[in-house]
C-alpha cells in the first residue's frame, strides 16, 4: 500500500474534470441556444453558417430594397393617374372647341383651362418626390450636379434586388412635364425642311440627328409605316393641288424610303400659283407623321414649354382655322395619353416583377435560415439529455473522488 500516488483518486479527479468540462459546454449550448459558440465547437460548421448568415442578411436587405422600389413606383404611378385624368379632360375641351357653335370668346375660355391643366401637369411632374428623387421631373440643368433636379440620377435608377452584384433592376425615369411628353413624341418636324421638285431636303448639315435620320429611326422602330406615310403625304399633296386648281394631281405620288427620304414623282411640277399652299400642305403632312405637331399661329410659335402643342386659338392670325387647330390638338393629346399609358404599363410590369421578386427572396431567406439553423442551433432535447448524463457523471465522479481519498486512511492503522 502506497500513499505518494493515489492512482484511484487521480483517475476519479480526471473523470470529474472531464465531466465538468462537458457539463459546462452543455450549459453554454443550452443557455445560448447555439450548438456552435466558437470555432472549436465545429470549425467547418462555423464557416458554412457564417456564409449563410451573410447571404440571409443580403436577402433580407434586398427584400427591403424591393419594397422601397415598389414605393417609388407607386409614387410615380399615383402622380401619373392625375396626369392621365387631365389629358382626358384636355381631349374633351379640344373636341368641344372644334364644334362650330363656339365663338372666339368661348374658345378663349376653353384655352385658358387647357393652359391651366398644362401648368398642373408640369407642377405634378416637377414636384413628385420620393426620398429626394424626382423621377418625373425635367432635367433642365442636367450635367451640373449642384443644380440638376435629380443630381443626374433620374434617367437610370438601379435597384439592388438580390444579395449579389448582378441582381439588379433598372428603373428609368421619364420627363412627364408637358414639354417632356411632347419632346419625346415630336421626332419628325418640318423645321428646316424645304420642298424641292423631287422631294424634301434639309438633312445636308445634320445627317445624324436631322429630319431624315429621325424619320428613319421611327421607321426602324416600327413607329411609322413608310408605305402608309407615303400614302398620307400623297393624299395631302393631291388635296392641296385640287384646291389650288393645279393639273396632274391624280398622277402625283410621294414615296418614303427605309432611309427616311421623301421623294415626289409624277404630275406637274409644284410651281406657279398655288405652289406655296401645296408645299405647306406637304410639310404639314410630313410634320404629322409621328402623330404630333405644333399648333399653328403667331401665338403658338412663341411657346416653348409644351403649350405650343395644345393651342386651339391663335389670335391675330389671318385665316386661322380654329377647327383644324382643335383637331390637331386632339390628335396631339391622344398621342400624349398613349405615351403616358405606355410608361404606366412599364411601371406596372416592374411592380408586378418586384412583388414576385420579394416572394422569392422571402422563401429563399426562410430556407437558408432553416439550413443555417440545422448547422448552428442547439438541439435542446439532445443537449438536455447530454447535460443530464454529464451532471450525473460529475456528481458520481465527485463522490468517487471522496471515496478514493478516504482509502488512504487505512495506512494509519498500521502506524498504531
What pLDDT was estimated at residue 208? 66
Q: Which of 48-57, 225-234, 395-404 has the lowest mean pLDDT?
A: 395-404
Does 77 lie in the same domain as 180? yes
Report if residue 147 sits inside a domain. yes
**How many whole angstroms separate alpha carbon 210 and alpha carbon 192?**
9
- Cell triple for 139: 432635367
Which one of 231, 266, 291 terminates a domain? 291
Report if residue 311 sits inside a domain. no
Report if residue 316 sits inside a domain. no
- 147 confidence band (pLDDT: 50, 70, 90): very low
Does 152 lie in the same domain as 112? yes
What pLDDT was estimated at residue 323? 86
**How many whole angstroms separate alpha carbon 320 and alpha carbon 105?**
15
Report if residue 300 sits inside a domain. no
Instruction: Report the domain count for the chain.
Output: 3
- 103 confidence band (pLDDT: 50, 70, 90): confident
What is the percentage of the chain residues whose pLDDT exceeds 90? 51
- Cell triple for 150: 435629380
Report if residue 216 sits inside a domain. yes
Does 95 lie in the same domain as 72? yes
Report if residue 43 sits inside a domain. no
Does 169 lie in the same domain as 77? yes
Taking 70 as the threshold, does the pLDDT of residue 317 lie above it?
Answer: no
What pLDDT was estimated at residue 153? 44
**What Rg, from alpha-carbon coordinates, does the chain have?**
41
Residue 34, φ and ψ in degrees, nearest 5: -110, 135
Does 200 lie in the same domain as 78? no
pTM: 0.80
Strand partners, 158: 170
What pLDDT was estimated at residue 405? 84
Taking 70 as the threshold, does the pLDDT of residue 26 lie above it?
Answer: yes
The CATH code of the domain that includes 58 is 1.20.1330.10
Does 65 lie in the same domain as 158? yes
Does 194 lie in the same domain as 173? no
Report if residue 310 sits inside a domain. no
Residue 384: which domain range?
A: 7-33+378-414
Residue 194, φ and ψ in degrees, nearest 5: -120, 155
What pLDDT was estimated at residue 1? 65
- Averaged pLDDT, 35-47: 92
Does 123 lie in the same domain as 69? yes
Mean pLDDT score across all residues of the chain: 87
Report if residue 232 sits inside a domain. yes
For residue range 191-243, what is the model confidence (pLDDT) as tens digits?
888 888 888 887 544 556 778 888 999 999 998 999 999 999 999 999 999 98
Q: Which of 17-26, 191-200, 289-298, 321-330 has the lowest mean pLDDT?
A: 289-298
Higher per-residue confidence, 406 vs 176 = 176
Start-to-end C-alpha separation, the chain:
16
Does 24 lie in the same domain as 69? no
Question: Exposed/middle/buried for 123, CB within 10 Å: 0-12, 13-18, 19+?
Answer: exposed
- Averaged pLDDT, 121-129: 94
For residue range 255-284, what is the model confidence (pLDDT) as tens digits?
999 998 999 988 677 777 778 888 889 998
- 139 confidence band (pLDDT: 50, 70, 90): low
Give yes or no for a contact between 266 and 283, defined as CB atoms under 8 angstroms apart: no
Q: For residue 44, how far is the Cα from the chain centroid?
A: 42
Does 88 lie in the same domain as 181? yes
Does 207 lie in the same domain as 270? yes
- Averaged pLDDT, 63-77: 95
Taking 80 as the threshold, does the pLDDT of residue 143 lie above it?
Answer: no
Does 191 lie in the same domain as 276? yes
What pLDDT was estimated at residue 96? 94
Helices (H), 221-321: 226-243, 275-287, 298-301
Q: Which of 128-137, 210-219, 256-265, 300-309 has the lowest mean pLDDT?
A: 300-309
Amino acid at each position: 500500500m502506497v500513499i505518494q500516488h493515489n492512482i484511484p483518486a487521480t483517475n476519479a479527479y480526471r473523470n470529474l474534470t472531464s465531466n465538468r468540462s462537458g457539463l459546462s459546454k452543455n450549459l453554454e449550448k443550452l443557455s445560448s441556444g447555439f450548438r456552435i459558440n466558437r470555432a472549436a465547437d465545429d470549425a467547418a460548421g462555423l464557416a458554412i453558417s457564417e456564409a449563410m448568415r451573410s447571404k440571409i442578411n443580403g436577402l433580407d436587405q434586398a427584400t427591403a430594397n424591393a419594397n422601397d422600389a415598389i414605393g417609388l413606383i407607386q409614387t410615380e404611378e399615383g402622380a401619373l393617374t392625375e396626369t392621365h385624368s387631365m389629358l382626358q379632360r384636355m381631349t374633351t375641351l379640344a373636341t368641344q372647341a372644334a364644334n362650330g357653335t363656339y365663338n372666339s370668346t368661348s374658345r378663349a375660355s376653353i384655352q385658358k383651362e387647357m393652359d391651366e391643366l398644362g401648368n398642373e401637369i408640369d407642377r405634378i411632374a416637377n414636384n413628385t418626390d420620393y426620398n429626394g428623387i424626382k423621377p418625373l421631373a425635367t432635367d433642365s440643368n442636367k450635367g451640373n450636379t449642384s443644380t440638376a433636379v435629380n443630381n443626374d440620377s433620374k434617367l437610370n435608377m438601379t435597384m439592388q434586388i438580390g444579395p449579389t452584384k448582378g441582381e439588379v433592376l433598372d428603373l428609368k425615369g421619364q420627363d412627364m412635364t408637358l414639354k417632356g411628353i411632347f419632346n419625346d413624341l415630336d421626332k419628325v418636324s418640318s423645321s428646316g425642311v424645304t420642298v424641292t421638285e423631287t422631294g424634301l431636303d434639309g438633312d445636308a448639315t445634320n445627317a445624324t440627328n436631322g429630319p431624315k435620320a429621325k424619320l428613319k429611326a421611327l421607321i426602324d422602330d416600327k413607329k411609322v409605316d413608310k408605305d402608309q406615310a407615303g400614302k398620307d403625304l400623297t393624299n395631302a399633296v393631291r388635296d392641296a393641288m385640287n384646291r389650288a386648281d393645279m393639273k396632274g394631281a391624280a398622277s402625283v405620288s410621294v414615296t418614303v424610303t427605309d432611309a427616311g427620304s421623301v421623294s415626289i414623282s409624277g404630275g406637274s411640277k409644284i410651281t406657279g400659283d398655288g405652289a406655296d399652299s401645296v408645299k405647306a400642305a406637304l410639310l404639314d403632312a410630313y410634320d404629322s407623321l409621328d402623330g404630333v405637331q405644333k399648333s399653328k399661329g403667331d401665338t403658338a410659335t412663341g411657346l416653348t414649354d409644351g403649350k405650343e402643342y395644345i393651342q386651339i386659338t391663335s389670335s391675330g392670325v389671318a385665316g386661322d382655322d380654329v377647327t383644324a387647330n382643335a383637331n390637331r390638338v386632339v390628335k396631339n393629346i391622344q398621342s400624349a395619353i398613349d405615351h403616358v399609358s405606355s410608361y404606366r404599363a412599364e411601371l406596372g410590369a416592374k411592380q408586378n416583377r418586384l412583388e414576385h421578386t420579394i416572394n422569392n427572396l422571402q422563401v429563399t431567406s426562410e430556407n437558408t435560415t432553416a439550413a443555417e439553423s440545422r448547422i448552428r442551433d442547439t438541439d435542446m432535447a439532445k443537449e438536455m439529455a447530454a447535460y443530464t448524463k454529464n451532471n450525473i457523471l460529475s456528481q458520481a465522479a465527485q463522490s468517487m473522488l471522496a471515496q478514493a481519498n478516504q482509502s488512504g486512511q487505512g495506512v494509519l492503522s498500521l502506524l498504531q
